[in-house]
Homo-oligomer: A and B are copies of this chain.
């Protein structure tokens, strides 16, 4: 992607507005594992994710990554830090190769702040984030590891075919060992079965769902 008007977020903006936006922004590409910003970096740039999968996570004092969310195009990233002028509260790293539009927030504020369409997009984006964070809190602080795994199986069982258990464990913020023990437990209890190709079959939906509701 190399044109602002191709970004759904801005697709119904006027030509003039797009021109103005072009002057204060540019596209930047990243390889897999490329860091867009680190937790603690100073704000100032508003990002629009245009290509690739971008993981947001925090790092604890021991160096463990606390997974928060993976974003796919299109969406705003970093608007909290920009609006509140606080350091980015998490790190953003590409999982795949990808691309962002980097917008100078100071200049955006001067030019665009009252643009009603953008306001609406910002509201949508913030709402999405509140929901994501609310969900993180629910998952990480209310659910036990067993409940997290149960919920993940019900909601994302297909991902077991494409992801390794270590990757799933990292999304669930548990260790691979804990995931393995819980899966073994579920298999022994005949709640699930796993075939040779890592496909998870749910044998007892009711019991499984009862673990996290």
Chain A residues within CB distance 8 Å of chain B = 58, 60-61, 66, 68, 79-80, 83-84, 86, 89-90, 114, 116, 119-120, 122-123, 126-127, 129-131, 133-134, 136-138, 140-142
Contact = CB atoms under 8 A, between A and B. Distances in A.
A8 B210 CA distance: 45
Contacts of A134: 80, 89-90, 133
Contacts of A80: 127, 130-131, 134
B141 A141 contact: yes
30 contacts: A58-B137, A58-B142, A60-B141, A61-B142, A66-B137, A66-B141, A80-B127, A80-B130, A80-B134, A84-B127, A84-B131, A89-B138, A90-B134, A114-B116, A116-B116, A116-B119, A119-B119, A119-B120, A122-B123, A123-B126, A126-B127, A126-B130, A129-B130, A130-B130, A133-B133, A133-B136, A136-B137, A137-B137, A140-B140, A141-B141
Given A119-B119, A130-B129, A137 B138 contact: no
Contact of A66 (B114, B131, B142): B142
Given A86-B131, A127-B84, A131-B86, A58 B138 contact: yes
A195 B168 CA distance: 50
Q: Give the one of A68, A130, A131 with max B CB within 10 A.
A: A130
Contact of A133 (B116, B120, B130): B130
A43 B127 CA distance: 15
A178 B130 CA distance: 30
Contacts of A90: 134
A123 B118 CA distance: 11
A64 B75 CA distance: 35
